[in-house]
Amino acid sequence: MANDKKLVEAITSMDVDFAQWYTDVVKKAELCDYASVKGCMVIKPAGYAIWENIQKELDARFKATGVENVYMPMFIPESLLQKEKDHVEGFAPEVAWVTHGGLEELQERMCVRPTSETLFCDFYAKDIQSYRDLPKLYNQWCSVVRWEKTTRPFLRSREFLWQEGHTAHATAEEAEVRTIQMLNVYADFCEEVLAIPVIKGQKTDKEKFAGAEATYTIESLMHDGKALQSGTSHNFGDGFAKAFEIQYAAKDNTLQYVHQTSWGMTTRMIGAIIMVHGDDNGLVLPPRIAPTQVMIVPIQQKKEGVLDKAFELKDVLSNFRVKVDDSDKSPGWKFSESEMRGIPVRVEIGPRDIENNQAVLVRRDTHEKITVSLDEIKDKVGELLDEIHNSMLERARKHREEHTYVATDFDSFVKTVEEKPGFVKAMWCGCQECEDKIKELTSATSRCIPFEQETLSDKCVCCGKPAVKMVYWGRAY
């Protein structure tokens, strides 16, 4: 049995060193590996399969709202990037530039896309002529490059995968409706598929996307009390349209500027899944996103009929994403490996189980063992997967509630941030000076101005002047 423990022994306890625990889980669960290109990662099959399921679930939700997929070039000419001043200034420190094509220096350098607003705007300026061409509801799945100084697998890398939606509308009202609609799509996806509860709200002007009129966000809380921005939806108004001359002929034959939105979610959600649900035994994958939902482990598989029964069970459970571990490893090793990889349900079946027409179901999230009749196993597994999802969501919500604090004066705010990792709810006067001071003195940033407002006091937690909004604050990834 000593060998069976090696996988788990290789994981640092999250309470000892959370950052090392995270790295250990990523490596031992074989989600990704470091690449020879500094700051980039190789996403391995186990990690990419999670991303494929995220894609599949999100893509269906996007299309249900009328969105279509397109693809834009990965290179952006410098002159195109320069057209929107605030936008280019926001991304300038992270841009990677291409200066040569083969052996020849380019007449105009190009950046490798950090995001694709300018490309979509350039396209829309040619493609949109009349009100009949609107709305444009487009999304693309692609990679982007941002030259980050500090990187961490999935959470922050120089190249990462994402989707970016870009829409164009006839009116400001339509654009605002779409911006909020897509934020709600993200929030529902996180809770219904990833079992991650989120706070919905608006970013402050300091934290909003470069060039946007308003940025809306969903914020989630990791196990270590740090926040993670999990998805954003931006209302661009007509700022980009004016910079790129995107106009349409309205019904009254006047020329009008379009109103645009943009929204995105990235592979950092794999990091969120790890940090919200994982434990000291490795990954704990929410059933609806898990590449393998059920792992069948035959016990004493060399005995006649055991493997045949395991594969017969696989056919019975074919409605789920199911595998049989028929490797020659010991059962204990298989159990550890299944736990490390976060597989939601393990089915154990051996000669005695077959004799009794039963199997043992083991929950990954609670390690609870349940003996079920083989006649009922299909229904029981379906019920158990739903129960696991709901239990994981409630556990994450309870953790967030227990690590959300209130501060009404600056001393208690600083003390809370320093001593109690989590969200801190506090009132704010709306001035960036206070936001900057809080970040400088505590390293906490404004996470969002929640849609559900509370009046905790009538004064700003930082300066004591009249408060205008309640804000969620916290240290973040």
Q: Which of 120, 166, 121, 128 is nearest to 255 (CA)?
A: 128
What is the pLDDT confidence band of residue 447, given thresholds at 50, 70 and 90?
A: very high
In contact, 267 and 160? CB cutoff 8 Å: yes
Residue 4 has pLDDT above 70, yes or no: no
Residue 160 has pLDDT above 60, yes or no: yes
pLDDT tens figures, 338-357: 999 999 999 999 999 999 99
pLDDT in tens, 133-146: 999 999 999 999 99
In the block, tokens 């999802």 appear at 389
Please report the pLDDT score of residue 2 as a whole number: 43
Percent residues over pLDDT 90 in the chain = 94
When pLDDT is averaged across residues 448-464 and rounded to a whole number, the result is 97
Mean pLDDT of 38-48: 96
Q: Is the pLDDT of residue 29 over 60?
A: yes
Indicate if the pLDDT at residue 50 is higher than 90: yes
Cα separation, 56 vs 163, in Å, equals 12
How high is the pLDDT of residue 451?
98
* pLDDT value of residue 439: 97
Checking if the pLDDT of 48 tops 50, the result is: yes
Q: Is the pLDDT of residue 5 over 70?
A: no
The string of pLDDT tens digits covering residues 365-404 is: 999 999 999 999 999 999 999 999 999 999 999 999 999 9
Token pair of 353, please?
A: 């189980």
State the angle between helix axes of 45-64 and 172-192 in degrees (0 to 180), rounded to the nearest 10.
Answer: 140
pLDDT(314) > 80? yes
Per residue in 226-253, pLDDT (tens digit) is: 999 999 999 999 999 999 999 999 999 9
- CATH number of the 404-474 domain: 3.30.110.30
Q: Which among 55, 57, 364, 382 has a CA at the least distance from the CA of 193?
A: 57
Output the six-digit token pair for 99: 């200066």
Q: Which among 477, 278, 280 is positioned nearest to 395, based on CA atoms? A: 278
Query: 8 pLDDT exceeds 90?
Result: no
SS (H, E, C) 229-256: EEEEEEEEECHHHHHHCCEEECCCCCEE
- Was domain 294-385 assigned CATH 3.40.50.11810? no
Percent of the chain topping pLDDT 70: 98
CA distance 180 to 163: 17
Q: Delimit the domains of the chain by residue range.
A: 21-277, 294-385, 404-474
pLDDT for 351 equals 97
pLDDT on residue 6: 57
Question: Average pLDDT in the 95-103 region?
Answer: 96
pLDDT of residue 1 exceeding 50, the answer is no
Given pLDDT bands bounded at 50, 70 and 90, which one contains residue 271?
Answer: very high
Q: What is the CATH number of domain 21-277?
A: 3.30.930.10
pLDDT at 88 over 90: no
pLDDT for 225: 98
